[in-house]
């Protein structure tokens, strides 16, 4: 696996992650570190994130997800890794699922 191989990270963030600016926090940080994809609230109270980039970029994003904004409380981040689809051009908030 080369360092610049594009990967996909699918994460479900659990805890107090809705109503605390979590999605905006993810978007802001993802743009800064260079990840593309989306974040959305789920009906079960979690936040779902689909992101693509190289391993280093996605590891940085994963650290962001585990930390969350100051007023959030992340209790768990479930993650799945795979090959990038290269379908994303930016990072944005999607509608609740």
What CATH number is given to the structural domain containing 59? Answer: 3.30.70.100
Q: How many domains does the chain have?
A: 1
Render pLDDT for 46-86 as a digit per residue (tens, 0 to 9). Answer: 999 999 999 999 999 999 999 999 999 999 999 999 999 99
Domain encompassing residue 43: 6-83
Residue 65: other Cβ atoms inside 10 A = 24
Model confidence at 4, in pLDDT bands (50, 70, 90)?
Answer: confident
**What's residue 3's pLDDT?**
57
24: closest CA among 80, 82, 87, 70?
70
Residue at 35 is within a domain: yes
Residue at 93 is within a domain: no
Percent of residues, the chain, with pLDDT higher than 90? 94
Token pair 């979690």 is at which residue?
46
Residue at 25 is within a domain: yes
Distance between CA atoms of 21 and 10, rounded to whole angstroms? 20
**What's residue 1's pLDDT?**
44
Catalytic residues: 23, 41
């Amino acid at each position: 696996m080369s360092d610049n191989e594009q990967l996909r990270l699918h994460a479900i963030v659990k805890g107090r992650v809705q109503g605390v600016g979590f999605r905006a926090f993810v978007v802001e940080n993802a743009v800064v570190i260079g990840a593309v994809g989306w974040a959305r609230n789920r009906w079960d109270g979690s936040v779902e994130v689909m992101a693509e980039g190289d391993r280093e970029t996605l590891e940085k994003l994963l650290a962001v997800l585990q930390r969350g904004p100051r007023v959030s409380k992340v209790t768990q981040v479930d993650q799945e890794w795979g090959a990038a689809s290269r379908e994303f051009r930016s990072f944005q908030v999607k509608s609740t699922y």
